[in-house]
Structure 1
């Protein structure tokens, strides 16, 4: 009997009590783990806030938020005018606070090295800074307030304090003021960014002939930039020449060697009324260099060296392209009435007009463009994986030009501000972006061009890799055929003219090889 009681089998009630106790213990343990997790997280957050606050306080600057890298379409509609309301030193759309230093004279005198030559359009080092700091060019800008605007590249968050040393050739004197570092908004949150260095011209101070930027005002300057100004006569208000249009292209890199594409881009844009193209040379092939030198001799192209000592895509966005775009903007100011900021695989294509000048005039008959600072064009992908246009002849040049071969485009266009490009009036723009203008002179804005008036033809492979893009709903668009005969003639003549000088290959031989490879691919497919 005792043994039966001692070793009796547990009933359901006993098992339920044990199970309930285990569940309560597990619940208590889970609750404790959650409490510990949140406590640790709270300590980490407090520590981060404390460190950031201390760091900001030590520099007498404010902590700043992360910048958005995805630029949403701000409800872009056809003909909608949106204005850039941000001002120098204030927070703009998707922008973080800019670090502006007070206007004051330096109490120190730098060690002047009068032998340092003044240069323009070449990267120079700024000494005395904790992080990399380079400057490229300087421009006199009086549109909102008198200052020297310098194109540079430096630390995105917490840039170094700098000083501006003004040089005056006539009197052989110098003058030092505190500089203001304004990081360009489109920086993708990388370590380094393109930037403006703003050097105020105070009171009756005259415009300097050159300027140096220093991390410490007592150091000998390591750079000296020629100050570009629209006119030598300070009393004359400059005006851009009517109907002259320039193009700004981001830095050429990876030993760029697409010579036929380069010729096609230059000649087609010439047919569209473009007068001049500015390139930035990070790395190009000898053949491309030869072609560009030919156009430089004709005065149709400017090529500036672009060797920026920052790792592209790891430290700074694509060879510091935003410094190049803004340098080109200010370099073109008052030299051209309009400037297009586009890539080599893009063409602004009007639907009803032969030239961009005619298009702009045509737009002026439909809306009031008096305060228009830029025209935005929707992006249309002409994927290179789609088959070539079958209506082309066997002429080796006609069948080789991308804008004639690729006539099938994606039906759905990107909204404005998403992959769009623009043509702007440089004198109305303060800060240029890749896809839209970030900041205008007050009172000016962008007109969104309807797709039935003009679009941006963009010739490229599928943007996300693979070939799935060819499944997109598409339409045949042969608007570029309007220039077919003249374009083929021009490219053929240039190729023949430069073939020996630039060691160009035979287009005819390339076409034969292409047809052989295509035929072999077809035969291989049959046997699979």
Structure 2
């Protein structure tokens, strides 16, 4: 049952989304797989010697459909779930061709297009293109095209990922989306990554649109350390992107550099590589209050709620314009914010709900948004702030508050000695 039994006020809405997912799967089960008779399956010598596309974003011939990556999904029926971006009203039909290399033929089916509900008014949205796999082969490659009779030899082909799940996953992976705007907040980035490492991360996946030359050096250093994995994200080459999450009638086609599409891809990319996936921005740290690290925190949370697959942590703003008087290394040669100097947080506003970021079991996620999971197996829970918070160091949201109205929260300082040592070591290794 794909009903996301949230322990929140969103229960009804999310269960409706789950019901929609059931309808999609019902469609796949009850409609014939082949839109052409089996005798019309294309055959021919070397037809499965296809050119594989390795781009992180690939545009189809309609210029309305953008393919990110296909993933095998066997959690209910055996299908290929293709993460993509589509025009929500203009894309009506997409066809899937599977290459059955053992038989040297191509099987054709029609995709079910499941546009994600969190579109926020933009004409383009994240979508799952659901292609039921043929019963008589286990294809490793798939092609997506607009017309059933398109020449598959001219269509882009993609390797179906998660075909061979890894059996020794890392414990924690952080998904960062997206790095854009010639990002140059180098010091806060280094501090965040080193904090992630102190808390238990093994991998940080970054969907990179653009950053400064200095930031490129830092990314190269962490990539060589095998801590950071870079996914190129040139989305502005295809669509007019917005710097905001909500639509404004200014010609923008997709919100916040396609952040939601990147997050969904990251969940599926790490579905069998990581026990847990954290979905947050680079200026955010899911900071344990009751426990020393993520592992002990998650062990405790899962023991309390074994069926929970999504843990939501409340966001709290620590203004980067308000400094403490305590002395820390200035790291003056490194551009960016020093988070150790920002331990005053804004009070809650009664009329505003704090957004949340997530730690998820990726194998229980079907579709995710930024602050909540849209479809999932099992239930979710909102984690109280006496267990953990999202430490979010950024420009203030309540800029007119006097300093006396801010709340001193020194939870971050529990890690200051280790963090100072780690950042200083990075500074010595990189010519900053």
TM-score range, shorter chain: 0.7 to 0.9
Which of 201, 221, 228 lines up with 2:161 in the alignment? Answer: 228
Residue 58 of structure 2: aligned partner? 124
Q: 1:373 to 1:364 in 2, by over 3 A?
A: closer
Q: Distance in 2 between matches of 1:414 and 1:200?
A: 47
Q: 1:256 to 1:205 in 2, by over 3 A?
A: farther
- Do 1:89 and 1:100's aligned partners in 2 also have CA atoms closer than 8 Å? no
Residue 323 of structure 1: aligned partner? 261
Q: 1:82 to 1:89 in 2, by over 3 A?
A: closer
Which of 402, 410, 413 lines up with 2:346 in the alignment? Answer: 410
Quick check: 97-106 or 414-423, which moved more?
97-106
Q: 1:17-56 residue pairs with structure 2 within 5 A?
A: none
SS at 2:221's partner residue?
A: helix
- Do 1:136 and 1:152's aligned partners in 2 also have CA atoms closer than 8 Å? yes
Deviation of residue 418 (structure 1)?
4.4
- Do 1:111 and 1:220's aligned partners in 2 also have CA atoms closer than 8 Å? no
Q: 1:306-345 residue pairs with structure 2 within 5 A?
A: 306-308=233-235, 309-313=238-242, 314-345=252-283
Q: By percentage of residues, which structure has more strand? A: 2
Deviation of residue 157 (structure 1)?
2.4
Q: Distance in 2 between matches of 1:267 and 1:205?
A: 48
Q: 1:98 to 1:427 in 2, by over 3 A?
A: closer
Residue 247 of structure 2: aligned partner? none
Q: 1:376-391 residue pairs with structure 2 within 5 A?
A: 376-386=312-322, 388-391=323-326
Normalised TM-score (structure 1): 0.70
Deviation of residue 270 (structure 1)?
0.4
5+ unaligned residues in a row in structure 1: which ranges? 1-72, 233-237, 505-528
Is the counterpart of residue 205 in structure 1 residue 136 in structure 2?
Answer: yes
SS at 2:417's partner residue?
A: helix
Q: By percentage of residues, which structure has more helix? A: 1
Is the counterpart of residue 451 in structure 1 residue 380 in structure 2?
Answer: no
Q: Distance in 1 between matches of 2:143 and 2:350?
A: 43
Q: Distance in 2 between matches of 1:427 and 1:362?
A: 20
SS at 1:294's partner residue?
A: helix
- Do 1:325 and 1:341's aligned partners in 2 also have CA atoms closer than 8 Å? yes
Q: Give CA deviations for 1:4-36 in whole Å, capped at 9, x if unaligned.
A: xxxxxxxxxxxxxxxxxxxxxxxxxxxxxxxxx
Which of 455, 460, 484 lines up with 2:394 in the alignment? Answer: 460
SS at 1:244's partner residue?
A: strand
Which is greater in Rg?
Answer: 1
Normalised TM-score (structure 2): 0.85
RMSD, aligned α-carbons: 3.2
Deviation of residue 463 (structure 1)?
3.6
Which of 173, 195, 200 lines up with 1:268 in the alignment? Answer: 195
Q: Distance in 1 between matches of 2:27 and 2:91?
A: 10
Residues paired across the two proteins, number: 405
Q: 1:98 to 1:289 in 2, by over 3 A?
A: farther
Is the counterpart of residue 162 in structure 1 residue 94 in structure 2?
Answer: yes
SS at 2:419's partner residue?
A: helix
Q: 1:121 to 1:362 in 2, by over 3 A?
A: farther
SS at 2:267's partner residue?
A: helix
Q: 1:70-85 residue pairs with structure 2 within 5 A?
A: 74-75=8-9, 84-85=14-15
Q: Distance in 2 between matches of 1:289 and 1:230?
A: 32
Is the counterpart of residue 106 in structure 1 residue 35 in structure 2?
Answer: yes
Deviation of residue 220 (structure 1)?
2.5
Q: Distance in 1 between matches of 2:300 and 2:333?
A: 30
Deviation of residue 491 (structure 1)?
1.0
Q: Distance in 2 between matches of 1:338 and 1:448?
A: 16
Residue 294 of structure 2: aligned partner? 356
Q: Distance in 2 between matches of 1:179 and 1:97?
A: 11
SS at 1:284's partner residue?
A: coil
Q: Distance in 1 between matches of 2:355 and 2:201?
A: 22
Residue 205 of structure 2: aligned partner? 278
- Do 1:398 and 1:404's aligned partners in 2 also have CA atoms closer than 8 Å? no
Q: Distance in 2 between matches of 1:472 and 1:330?
A: 45
Q: 1:470 to 1:150 in 2, by over 3 A?
A: farther
Deviation of residue 470 (structure 1)?
5.0
Deviation of residue 428 (structure 1)?
0.7
- Do 1:417 and 1:436's aligned partners in 2 also have CA atoms closer than 8 Å? no
Residue 519 of structure 1: aligned partner? none
Deviation of residue 447 (structure 1)?
1.1
